[in-house]
Structure 1
Amino acid sequence: MADLRLRRSVLYMPGSNQRALEKARQLPADALILDLEDAVAPDAKDLAREQVCAAVKAGGYGSREIVIRVNAPQTPWGEEDLKAAIEARPDAILMPKVNSPAVLESIANRLEALDAPESIAVWAMIETPASILNIKEVAASRRTVPGCRLSCLVLGTNDLAKDTWAQIVKGRAPMMPWIMFALAAARAEGLAILDGVFNDLDDIEGCREECRQSRDLGFDGKTIIHPNQIEPANTCFAPSAQEVERARKVIAAFDLPENARRGAIRVEGRMYERQHIGMARRAVAWHEAIAAKGG
């Protein structure tokens, strides 16, 4: 079964905002991306690095997954970001603009050279036309690149729109081929994958609708940019009570002795094949993980 660590809501927090870093300890987001890159102005990069790494070392974020997004290695801040992030020991380091397996090979070599703890995973931003065209090879890097720690892909839909001139419209039709291609590549390699952000902070219902779409498409969760988007993401990525009840009935029906050798059975008027057992068990496990966290 795929990794069921909760990533329904993954909130970007600007590393240069000390108040936001403190507030994040109380927010019900499943995961936090403490950002040293896009959300931080060039003249605040050093301050952001210092504040983020100090916050991660101090802890107090509970069960939330903590990720540090560093600047790209070729920038003036990339190498120092990586060194400081390794010392802070987050759950993962998010690399921007992963255009090819070569980027992940380079980061694998740097992590080894810097003696990074094995507990630190690598997440990859998929945010350029090149990253979409190379997505199969990027996702396969966890198998093909020695020492690769890739565990999650993160779509950067704003950057994709900027580079391709695609319009960001309701329903995201212009981007749907890229979105689904990335999702298929992630699933083929057993990776988690997070959807891009919703930009309109005042349109909560629009955010909710896009979260529903993300969940229906098969994403693990949604990256978000404001605390008021946490509830829509958490709610939409949780299986409904009806889904959980149906899943449990399907599991129970296949567990009956008379169905042990059957490839397909009927439950409450619907046909289910054995492949549906895995889907049903995932829904129940997802529900139980959310319940264990407290919602």
Structure 2
Amino acid sequence: MAELRPRRSVLYMPGANERALEKAKTLDADALILDLEDSVAPDAKADGRKRVCEAAASGEYGRRELTIRVNGLDTEWHADDIRAAAEAGPDAIVVPKVNSAAEVHAIERSLEAAGAPDKTAIWAMVETPIAMLHAYDIAAASERLSVLVMGTNDLAKELHAEHVPGRAPLLGGLSLALLAARATGKVILDGVYNDVKDLDGFAEECLQGRQFGFDGKTLIHPGQLEPCNRIFAPSDAEIAHSEKIIEAFEAATREGRGVVTVDGRMIENLHVDNARRVLAVAAAIRDRA
């Protein structure tokens, strides 16, 4: 199994806000998205770009995965963002509204032309109906693309859908993107929860996202970090049960037994694979601490 990197909590930070960038160094987020898009006004784009790239190159964010969200391909700032971000060399470039494999190829060419280091991955935001329908092609377009990021606010807007508990209007799109990520071996992050004061509703959506199979969730406020990290991490009971499954399976293998049961339930290879993944995720979280 490939090494797992925890991405339970992925927090957007406004790129033009120096205090926010400084505070991010102390927050218990698995990853940060230093934002040059929605949170930065047009007349502050150049200053925000400089500030974010300096932060990304500083080496002052510990083990947090550090990414930069550039402005979209169809904007006047995109090319300058890509060039500056490539020089800063973050862990990834987050690109909004990626709608096709051709756009992934264009992003990849731009990064390579700008001299981005090999470690700088592409995170593609999928947030439109056409992106949902092209999700597999987007995810499979490049080895450099490692993560799909759901943009649920924009998706709801373009669907003319309402934000309701349970997100029924969005489940078709979420499922298509999840299928694409799993079919191509990519990580996928759930979209944001807008009401930062509603922690109960937020926790319910985190649980839904985990049950669906998302690897983590994007966040807009530090107050969302604790429940997100807790819900997207294996519980003590899950870890203990996984250890029990692996121990029973290995004992049966040594003894030449073809049937394995744990707590009265038959264990197959898929259960063992799931148990090993739970333990790998738990180990990755411990290593990050």
Structures share a fold, TM > 0.5?
yes
Q: Give the gaps of 5 or more residues in structure 1.
A: 143-147
- Mapped to 1, the partners of 2:25 and 2:213 lie a distance apart of 28
Report the CA distance between 1:292 and its aligned residue.
2.5
Q: Within the alignment, does 1:186 sit opposite 2:181 as a pair?
A: yes
Matched-pair contact (CA < 8 Å) for 1:123–1:151: yes
Change in CA separation of 1:104 and 1:252 when aligned onto 2, cut-off 3 Å: same
CA–CA distance in 2 between the matches of 1:260 and 1:172?
48
Determine the C-alpha separation between the residues in 2 that align with 1:130 and 1:166.
15
Shift of 1:51: 0.8
Find the counterpart in structure 2 of residue 156 from structure 1. 151
Aligned pair in 2 of structure 1 residues 85, 254: CA closer, same or farther (>3 Å)? Answer: same
> Contact conserved, 1:263 with 1:273, CA < 8 A, in 2?
no
Given the alignment, which residue of 185, 196, 200 partners 2:195? 200
The answer to whether the 8 A contact 1:71-1:78 is kept is yes
Matched, 1:37 2:12: no
Deviation at 1:208, TM superposition (A): 1.0
Offset at 1:262? Answer: 5.4
Question: By how many angstroms is 1:130 displaced?
Answer: 0.9
SS in 1 for 2:217: strand
User: Partner letter of residue 121 of structure 1?
Assistant: A
For residues 190 and 197 of structure 1, the distance between their equivalents in structure 2, rounded to whole angstroms, comes to 23
The Cα of 1:110 is off from its aligned counterpart by: 1.2
Deviation, structure 1 residue 256: 0.9
Could you tell me how far apart the structure 2 residues matched to 1:258 and 1:54 are? Answer: 54
TM-score by length of 2: 0.96
Amino acid at match of 2:62: G
RMSD of equivalent CA atoms: 1.4
Q: Which residue of 2 aligns with 1:145?
A: none
Structure 1 residues 260, 222: closer, same or farther in 2, change over 3 A?
farther
146, 166, 174: which one pairs with 2:169? 174
Would the aligned equivalents of 2:11 and 2:222 in 1 still touch at CA under 8 Å?
yes
Cα distance in 1 for residues equivalent to 2:4 and 2:210? 14
1:134 paired with 2:129, answer no
Report the alpha carbon displacement of residue 260 of structure 1 after superposing the two structures with TM: 6.3
SS of equivalent to 1:194:
strand
Runs of 4+ in 1 over 6 A off after TM superposition: none
Aligned to 2:279: 284
CA distance in structure 2 between the partners assigned to 1:260 and 1:130 by the alignment: 53
Shift of 1:2: 5.3
Task: Call closer, same or farther: CA 1:258–1:201 in 2, change over 3 Å.
Answer: closer
Residue of structure 2 in register with 1:57 after alignment? 57
| Code of the aligned partner of 2:170 | M
Shift of 1:202: 0.3
How far 1:5 moved relative to its partner? 0.3
Look up the equivalent residue of 2:60 and give its one-letter code. Answer: G
